[in-house]
Amino acid sequence: MTIVAQTTNVSKVYKLADTEVYALDDVNITVAERDFLALMGPSGSGKSTLLHLIAGIDRPSAGTCSVLNFDLGKMSESELAKWRNQYVGFVFQSFNLVPVLSAQENVELPLLLTGLSSSARKTQARTALELVGLADRMGHTPRQLSGGQQQRIAIARAIATDPQLILCDEPTGNLDSASADAVLEIFHTLNNQLNKTIIMVTHDPHAAHAAKEVRYLEKGKLLPAGEKPKDW
């Protein structure tokens, strides 16, 4: 089993006045290659914090975070940025597309940092858009697209650099059920056919059902596999 992401005794503590709030408390988790993991839990349970640590956009207060054989704690800001561009795709709840760019240009954004030629970037963006079924919407701006289509463009942007790991933060949170299904179907294809490892934070049991494995967090602690929070 090839390990893609592993956290070891990871904690994240926020100081509020004199009190310390544990967003994450001694979390150990291992994600293997081709896993499709859903992280669930009530609001404030620490699932998004864990995702941010794995993405290298936040740093733990204690413990280590190793992703794709990189010890993120030892990397500088600029190294992390380059690393994210090369190895990680990110899908947000509210799509976060650039409104003045067309669908194709939005997908090309992370490719601008790769050193590819203009024509190679276009080809790669088109391939990503074809994969999410929106090749015919390349010239459309986000405003001209539905929420579901925008999220599919965001997924195309996340996979444009062909990353090994895709991180999703509530990817179906702003979508109707039909659009959510279409998005989950794409994740399924990415995981099963293209061997991408996916970690998805979600509140939606339907979305979690699409994952191969579901893990729950409660009050900053990762519950044992198969265990749910009380009242969940």
Partner 1 sequence: MTLMTYMAKNALRNRRRTALTAVSLAISLTVVIFLKTFLLQLTNPPESAKPSARFVVRHRVSLTMGLPRSTEEKIRRMEGVVDISPMQWFQGIYIDEKPKNWFARFAVDPDHFFNVYDDLQTNDLEAFKKTRNGALVGRKLAERHGFKVGDTIVIKGDIFDANPELKVVGIYDMANGAVDTQQMTDWLLFQIKYLDEMLGETTRVSSFFARADTPQRMETLLPAIEEMFRNSDAEVKAETEKAFQMSFLEMMGNVTGLINTLVTVVLFAVLLIAASTMALTIKERTKEVATLKALGFGRGHILALVVGEGMIVSALGGLLGIGGSYAFLPKPGWFAAFALGGIVAIGVMIFMMIITFVISETSQSRIRKIAAGRGGTIAIVVGLTITIALLAVMPPVDWMTLSSGYVPTMEVRKPTLILGFIITVVVGLLSSFWPAFQASRMSVLDGLRKVD
Question: Per rule CB under 8 A, is residue 90 in the interface with partner 1?
Answer: yes
Q: Compare residues 56 and 214 and give the one whose CB is closer to partner 1.
A: 56
Question: Per rule CB under 8 A, is residue 22 in the interface with partner 1?
Answer: no
Rounded Cα distance between 192 and 197, Å, is 9
3-state SS class at 182: helix
- What is the gyration radius of the CA atoms in the chain, in angstroms? 18
- In 3D space, the residue among 227, 102, 91 whose CA is nearest the CA of residue 167 turns out to be 91
Q: How far is the CB of 205 from partner 1 (least distance, A)?
A: 25
Question: Per rule CB under 8 A, is residue 223 in the interface with partner 1?
Answer: no
* Binding residue for partner 1, selected from 62, 113, 120, 225, defined by CB under 8 A: 113
# of chain residues touching partner 1 (CB under 8 A): 31
Max Cα separation, the chain? 56
Question: Per rule CB under 8 A, is residue 55 in the interface with partner 1?
Answer: yes
Identify which range of 94-102, 172-180, 181-189, 213-221 contacts partner 1 by CB under 8 A: 94-102
For 162, counting Cβ atoms within 10 Å of its Cβ (0-12 exposed, 13-18 middle, 19+ buried), the class is middle
For 9-74, give the DSSP string: EEEEEEEETTEEEEEEEEEEEEEETT-EEEEE-STTSSHHHHHHHHHTSS--SEEEEEETTEEGGG
* Binding residue for partner 1, selected from 35, 105, 170, 218, defined by CB under 8 A: 105
Residues 176 to 195 in contact with partner 1, rule: CB under 8 A: none
* Binding residue for partner 1, selected from 21, 62, 100, 194, defined by CB under 8 A: 100
The tokens of 173 are what? Answer: 């949170």
Question: Per rule CB under 8 A, is residue 120 in the interface with partner 1?
Answer: no
* Binding residue for partner 1, selected from 3, 101, 135, 223, defined by CB under 8 A: 101
Site residues (CB under 8 A) for partner 1? 52, 55, 57-58, 77-78, 81-86, 90, 92, 94, 96, 98-101, 104-105, 108-110, 112-113, 118, 121, 157, 161
